[in-house]
């Protein structure tokens, strides 16, 4: 955003936009709140009215980006609705959307997909985790996933999709073009879902995985303080 180009009342959004640009230019950590303020032509003291610290600005940017990603993933799922009768199609579209985003915008992906990116009181809607969970619920209801394998399945599929995204983004795995990346993503998603579908009985020792978001949801469900 050009220096000084924001409307009255939009300074918060302008600072978020400036921070996003700085992340893409320098990475997650090598910039300051003062620099973000300078990008929009205001003093640091003006920025402090909206963000108490650089960390607060980064957290707000992470929340905004995750909400955008959640919306995008939901749209990717809806885009393939009504296509060939394939119960896995929506989750394949979700996986492709996630991997494509991580490759197209690696600096922002690294910012938001790391520990501490959001906090106990973060409000993110739609959260990508919730979109993934809803699609797995849909698959189970359609008979594409045994009900007893559903608990925790989102962590299995997320590990597969995110692992592919990181390997590609870091250059540890190289694939020639976007169509081939999509094909590999489909293979990974199908492999994970088919593996889940082949489980024959509940495992008593199945790990109870959790994330910052699921812990936040659990606290809210029980009325516990943040």
Q: b/e for 117-131, b at 16 or more Cβ within 10 A?
A: bbeeebebebbbbbb
Phi, psi dihedral angles at 187 (to 5 degrees): -60, -40
Domains, the chain, ranges and CATH? 1-52 (1.10.10), 65-222 (1.10.357.10)
Cβ neighbours of residue 103 under 8 Å, at least 6 residues apart?
165, 168, 169, 181
pLDDT in tens, the chain (226 residues): 344 455 546 999 999 999 999 999 999 899 999 999 999 999 999 999 999 999 999 999 999 999 999 999 999 999 998 877 899 999 999 999 999 999 999 999 999 998 888 888 888 999 999 999 999 999 999 999 999 999 999 999 999 999 999 999 999 999 999 999 999 999 999 999 999 999 987 777 788 898 989 988 888 888 776 5
Q: Which two tokens stand for residue 202?
A: 């509940």
* Global confidence as pTM: 0.91
Q: Are the C-beta atoms of residues 55 and 160 closer than 8 Å to each other?
A: no
Q: How far apart are alpha carbons 101 and 99 in whole angstroms?
A: 5
């Amino acid at each position: 955003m050009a220096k000084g180009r924001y409307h009255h009342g939009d300074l918060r959004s302008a600072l978020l936009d400036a921070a996003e640009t700085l992340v893409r230019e320098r990475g997650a950590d090598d910039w300051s709140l003062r620099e973000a303020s300078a990008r929009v032509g205001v003093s640091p003291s003006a920025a402090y009215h909206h963000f108490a610290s650089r960390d607060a600005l980064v957290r707000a940017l992470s929340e905004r980006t995750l909400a955008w990603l959640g919306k995008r993933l939901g749209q990717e799922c809806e885009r393939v609705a009504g296509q060939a009768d394939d119960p896995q199609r929506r989750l394949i579209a979700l996986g492709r959307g996630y991997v494509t985003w991580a490759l197209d915008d690696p600096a922002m992906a690294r910012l938001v997909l790391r520990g501490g990116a959001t906090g106990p009181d973060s409000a993110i809607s739609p959260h990508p985790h919730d979109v993934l969970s809803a699609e797995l619920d849909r698959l189970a209801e359609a008979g594409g996933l045994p009900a007893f394998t559903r608990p925790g399945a989102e962590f299995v599929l997320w590990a597969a999709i995110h692992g592919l995204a990181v390997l590609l983004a870091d250059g540890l795995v190289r694939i020639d073009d976007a169509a081939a990346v999509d094909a590999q993503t489909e293979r990974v998603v199908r492999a994970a879902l088919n593996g889940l579908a082949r489980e024959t009985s509940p495992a008593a020792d199945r790990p109870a995985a959790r994330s910052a978001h699921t812990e936040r949801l659990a606290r809210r469900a029980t009325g516990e303080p943040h």
